[in-house]
Structure 1
Amino acid sequence: MIWTPGREDRVDGMPTAGEWRRLSVVPEKREVFGCDLYFREGWADVLSVFGGDATGVLDGLAMLVVKPDAVAGRRLGPIMEYLADNGFVPVATTRFGYTRHSMREVWRYDWHIYTVDRLQLCTFWYLTNDVLVFLARDVRPVPGLPATVRLCDLKGVGDPARRQPHHLRTKLNPPNRMLNFVHVGDEPADIVRELAIFLDRPERLRFLEDLRAHLGEDRTAQARAEIAALEADCPAHDLDLAAALSRLAPLAGEAAAARLRDVAASGPRISWDELAELVPFEKADRWDVIVTASFVVHDERPVPHALLPPVSPEAWTAR
């Protein structure tokens, strides 16, 4: 039997039509996720742990994932403060590491705009150190608005020109639009899918069981302990371009450093392979390379349209 969106009976554990309405407001996403391997596996596990309460539990949770640059740049403390200031209480936290494949799967429907050069940079960057995923309970809920949609709106977009002073990314002061520190699940459906990408099934089930056992608690202390352990394993970095180029100059030569300064200041951007010719990666500090690359490597290409429509809080509250 082939599953089709809107069927009220379950086929292979898929959401009913009523559950889909609480997981996503985007019809195209519901159709795509109905065939998505990670969503299907993730939903089966969420159902096995929470049963008929699954959509209600997801509705009250926001998912925030820090990126490797947030760890090196020591932004995790400010992230915790922002969550608390905006009515989000951590209830589950776990550590994981991206792989070449998982990073592409999480942003399968977004990274089509990236150049091959930026994909090479992302592979180098995202595999540098472990990260954390937080699930946080919304203690200031907005009627009709899932917690993760509210937090995603507060996060702010990648383009600094379109951010507001109250946005999380504004508060974190990223060095550029590429190193932007955090990812937030767009909708409850994205929480389901992305947990299945981040965590293998045994670890995912343990995480979900732990969440169920402590759903009503404030587990800020546990989250801060996870942060401390992760930061102990990852040296801090200033994420500053000028400082990075000053450290690279003795290794690459002043002419190469001057070339990179010119590219960063006025372009045009260069390829990943050209950067590798200018900078001896094997001798350089990895984060100096990442920071420099984020300013000089070809980053985006023109594409005709988004693969999935964007999600807006208004689309949820207007229903």
Structure 2
Amino acid sequence: MTTWTAEAPAGGPGVSGTDRSAVPSRAFDSLTADPAKRAAYRFDPYAREGLELFRSPGARAWLQATTSVVLKPDAVAGRRCGMILDVLEEEGWQPVGARLFRFDPVLTREIWRYQFNAASQQRIAVVDHLLGAGPSMVVLLHDTRRDAYLPASVRLTAAKGAADPRDAHGRDLRSRFGRVNGLFNFVHTADEPADVVREVRLMSYRTGTEWVRAALAQETPRAGGPCPARSLLPELEREIPAHDLDAERSVRRLAGRSDCWGALARGSGDPARVEDWLSALRETGVPSGTARWDVLSVLTAWIDCNEPGVAPILATVTPADWRNHA
């Protein structure tokens, strides 16, 4: 296997004249339109390992035509997964591989390493309980309607729309999926090819790489066969109960309980009292079963997701960025 060779700057040997990355300075040129990301990912261990995973013949072309989407536990609870796959296929994204995996606090922070700096303390308090509520599914998607200048990942990210419903535009995909709030937004997508490289490698620590290599080996994705994602839906839904994800109904249901959540629903059932709920979350965690989703429905509806005035370390690239880059 070919390995990356560290680039020695003109300063010569020695610590002061040695590059601090084994990844060539232009390794990500065709994979991101963001100069800051090209620089950061040279020092990112997951991006570096991902480059090795995607070194097979044709892998760079594959990365332009293929992307990834994660169906999160809220999509399962809301029974949106089948509909999400329907809409994606209608819009030209054909599933070519899928695996189940589980988020944990470390994976969550590493996937969003360059965005989590802008997350509010309230969001940080809630997100692990949400993403840890059950299995998620990562799906590789081949773009059958790819724009000549846009990678599949960029087209999907632009079509997906913002996490927050207040920033929705037209018929973005998350609106069509029935996005509820900034955390109950059902899907996560890799922003551009560099992120496909990094995030698939991160998730492959849990899923293995065989299924990724099998998708890479498909010269032309098979059409008309069984969908690799749909066959996994029954397993997802066996573990996560169906829920309406409605905050007002959840407060009413919780009010009938005899525990701290019932007391909060009866005495602090107002968004202005969200800190009371977050305090209980820190002290007791979430209940089991459908009550877990009642609590999460209330909290995700009431919290502020982002720190005001704080921008993520790496911003989401736009189609315009890519057309300029091309």
Q: Fold conserved (TM > 0.5)?
A: yes
Give, in angstroms, the shift of residue 238 of structure 1. 1.1
Any idea what SS the aligned residue of 2:227 has? helix
Give the equivalent residue in structure 2 for 1:36: 44
295, 298, 313: which one aligns with 1:307:
313
Q: Cα RMSD over matched residues? A: 2.7
Which residue pairs with 2:208 in the alignment?
204
Give me the TM-score of the superposition, normalised by structure 1: 0.86
Contact 1:145 1:313 in 2 (8 A): yes
Distance in 2 between residues matched to 1:196 and 1:272, nearest whole Å: 36
Of 144, 158, 166 in structure 2, the residue corresponding to residue 153 of structure 1 is 158
SS at match of 1:250: coil
Structure 2 counterpart of 1:247, one-letter code: R
Distance 2:125 2:285 in 1: 16
Q: Which amino acid aligns with 1:35?
A: F
221, 230, 234: which one aligns with 1:228: 234
Q: 1:121 aligns with which of 116, 126, 134?
A: 126
Q: CA deviation at 1:254?
A: 6.5
Moved more, 86-95 or 309-318: 309-318
Structure 1 residue 303: Cα displacement: 3.9
CA shift at 1:61, angstroms? 0.4
For residues 276 and 117 of structure 2, what CA distance do their matches in structure 1 show? Answer: 17
- More off after superposition, 241-250 vs 56-65: 241-250
Once the two structures are superposed, what CA deviation does each residue of 1:129-158 show, in whole Å capped at 9, x if it has no partner?
Answer: 001111111111101110010011010012
State the Cα deviation string for residues 162-182 of structure 1 (Å, max 9, x = none): 322321110111222221111
| Aligned: 1:188 with 2:193 | yes
Greater per-residue helix proportion? 1
State how far apart, in whole Å, the 2-side matches of 1:208 and 1:183 are. 18
Cα offset, 1:159, TM superposition: 2.6
Aligned to 1:22: 30
Q: Secondary structure of the equivalent of 1:21? A: coil
- Kindly indicate whether the alpha-carbon contact (under 8 Å) linking 1:13 and 1:44 is maintained by their aligned counterparts in 2: no
Deviates more, 1:169-178 or 1:55-64: 169-178
Distance 1:86 1:185, change over 3 A: same
Q: Which residue of 2 aligns with 1:46?
A: 54
* 3-state SS of paired residue (1:22): coil
The residue aligned with 1:172 is 177
Paired with 1:277 and 1:144, the residues of 2 have a C-alpha distance of 47
| Counterpart residue number, 1:286 | 292
Unaligned runs of at least 5 residues, structure 1 = 6-10
Unmatched 5+ residue regions in structure 2?
Answer: 10-19
The amino acid that maps onto 1:25 is A
Q: Secondary structure at the match of 1:137?
A: strand
Q: 33-42 vs 113-122, which deviates more?
A: 113-122
Bigger mean CA deviation after superposition, 160-169 or 275-284: 275-284
Q: For residues 43 and 177 of structure 1, what CA distance do their matches in structure 2 show?
A: 32
**Counterpart secondary structure, 1:183:** strand
Alignment-mate amino acid for residue 101 of structure 2: F
The 4+ residue runs of structure 1 with deviation greater than 6 A are 277-280
Is 181-190 or 171-180 further displaced after alignment?
Answer: 171-180
Note if 1:101 corresponds to 2:106.
Answer: yes
Question: Aligned to 1:145, what secondary structure does the other structure show?
Answer: coil
Asked if the contact 2:142–2:152 (Cα under 8 Å) also holds between the matched residues in 1, the reply is: yes
Question: Does 2:138 align with 1:133?
Answer: yes
Match of 1:295 in 2: 301
Aligned to 2:249: 243
Structure 1 residues 241-296: Cα deviation after superposition (integer angstroms, max 9, x where no partner) = 12211221122477621444322xxx364265434389884477211111111123
Q: What is the rounded CA distance, in whole Å, between the counterparts of 1:282 and 1:55 in structure 2?
A: 45
- Distance change >3 Å, CA 69–CA 16, structure 1 → 2: same
- Structure 1's 212 and 37: CA in aligned 2 closer, same or farther, altered over 3 A? same
Amino acid at match of 1:286: R
3-state DSSP class of the match of 1:23?
coil
Shift of 1:4: 8.2
Assess if the C-alpha contact under 8 Å between 1:23 and 1:189 holds in 2.
yes
Contact 1:96-1:130 within 8 A present in 2 as well: yes
What one-letter code is carried by the residue in structure 2 that aligns with 1:166? R
The SS at the match of 2:296 is: helix
CA 1:308–1:253 in structure 2 vs 1: closer, same or farther (change >3 Å)? Answer: closer
